[in-house]
Amino acid sequence: MSTSNIIDLIDLDKKVIYIDQFAISDMMKALNPNTRAHKKGRLDTFWITLFKKLDRLCKLQLIVCPESEFHTDESLLAPFFKPLERMYKLLSVGIRFYDYQTIKRLQILEYAKNWISGKEERDVVIDVNHVVDGEINDWQKAFAVSVKLPYNLDWINDLRKYRERTHQGIRSVFKRWQSEQNKTFDDWFEEEVIGIGQAILKIYEMHQKRLSATATGYLDLTVNDTIAPPEVVLVYSIQDVFIKAGIQKSDIWQKTEEFLASPLLKKIPYIKIFSMLCAALARQAAAGRKKVPGHGIVNDIRLISALLPYCNAVFIDKECRALLREKPLSDEINYGTQIFSLVNKQEFLNYLDEIEKSTPQEHFDKVDAIYGKDWRKPYTMLFGKS
């Protein structure tokens, strides 16, 4: 066998950049001649420019824009699911974040190990490779194959109903926040942290009671009863950590309650970010804000809480960026992530340009040798000719 075509690969260090759903949607519309916005020419040319830079950098093996459950859920509720899916899958190059409940559980378990071993001050490593399917720094395959699973219409309707129920909950709590002028940011933050721990225990206990009721025939068994809620899986996992640490089974429940009420919860990235964002909204409400956050705010808070620590940069909506820039959030949520939105969109383009400019020529030579010189051209024909 000839070795003349063998290329020695170099190690990659791709930047992880999360692109929020609204940007995925607007880039799709800018490229897709079948959308109404495209036909009417109502879209900012920024979106085409952004797509070209992202796609080029992905092909140059310099960045990856992982997809997430938030992309899928939001796309399923939109009229252009398949084009949206095609857009975020192209930029993800096969990398997908775990769902937010899994990421939250993994973080909590690491801190549970520290807590039960008396090493609460030990730092927990934030590594994106622990929370994604796929290898971030693999060289991209020239061809991508994906399996399209059918989505049941009932499931989509349930998703829409769940989103509406969640927003009704936000409306209710926002009204309460408006009446709490006597509280401070720290009050709301502590309340949210404590509430998360209490909610986990409450859902676990309710599930156990329902299982007992179905076992005795008091209640009929349903499909939902056979699927443990994420909070139940979390409690089981925490207890498994404690058992492996030598805690007696008779003491397991007490230790679980103690851990989920401990101050250490405030250090867990997901819980910390989620609680601070909620506290920031509460402070705005108490200060006189009248407008209730939109339907997507809960998903936005969840995705930021789960994914932000693992990203080099995020491009999110203006409201969430503004919340993250408020103090103490701007000081406390310090994972080295650069935060962009439409407010500083030119800065985001400059950031992307700098990634390419700071890359040595050897890297580009390898890319050209592996994929060919035409490979790096942006795929603006993703949805056909406009």
How does pLDDT run across 117-146, given as a tens digit for each residue? 999 888 888 999 999 999 999 998 866 555
Residue type, 264: L
- Contact present, 316 and 338 (Cβ < 8 Å): no
Residue 1 has pLDDT above 50, yes or no: no
pLDDT of residue 231: 96
Helix (H), strand (E) at residue 19: strand 15-19
On the CB side of 255, CA atoms within 13 Å amount to 22
- Contact present, 55 and 91 (Cβ < 8 Å): yes
Predicted model pTM: 0.92
* Span 244-270, pLDDT tens digits: 999 999 999 999 999 999 999 999 999
d(CA 189, CA 179): 16
Q: CA separation (Å) from 285 to 14, 145, 146?
A: 40, 47, 44
Place of tokens 């805690």: 247
d(CA 339, CA 337): 6
- Contact present, 176 and 170 (Cβ < 8 Å): no
pLDDT of residue 2: 46
Q: Where are the alpha helices (DSSP H) in 216-268?
A: 230-244, 252-259
On the CB side of 309, CA atoms within 13 Å amount to 24
The DSSP bridge pattern shows strands 96-97 and 63-64 to be unpaired
Nearest 5°: phi and psi at 273?
-65, -45
Give the count of beta carbons closer than 10 Å to the beta carbon of residue 149: 6
d(CA 51, CA 112): 41
Average pLDDT along the chain: 91
Mean pLDDT of 329-341: 97
State the DSSP code for 311: -
Name the residue ranges covered by the structural domains of the chain: 15-97+341-371, 101-128+150-339
Residue 274 has pLDDT above 50, yes or no: yes
Nearest 5°: phi and psi at 59?
-70, -30
Through-space distance between the first and last CA atoms of the chain, rounded to whole angstroms = 46
d(CA 355, CA 332): 26
Residues 6+ apart with CB under 8 A from 59: 140, 367, 371, 375, 376, 377
- Contact present, 314 and 15 (Cβ < 8 Å): no
Per-position DSSP letters for 20-88, written without gaps between them? -HHHHHHHHHHH-TTSHHHHTT-S-THHHHHHHHHHHHHHTTSEE--B-HHHHHHHHTSTTHHHHHHHH
d(CA 303, CA 275): 13
Q: Torsion over CA of 281, 284, 290 and 296, rounded to 10 degrees?
A: -20
- Contact present, 267 and 114 (Cβ < 8 Å): no
Q: Left, alpha or beta for 118 (phi > 0: left; psi -120 to 50: alpha)?
A: left
Lowest pLDDT segment from 31-35, 68-72, 113-117: 31-35
Mean pLDDT of 363-368: 95
Residue 155 has pLDDT above 80, yes or no: no
pLDDT of residue 85: 95
The DSSP bridge pattern shows strands 313-315 and 15-19 to be parallel
pLDDT of residue 79: 85
Residue 151 has pLDDT above 70, yes or no: no
Mean pLDDT of 16-25: 97
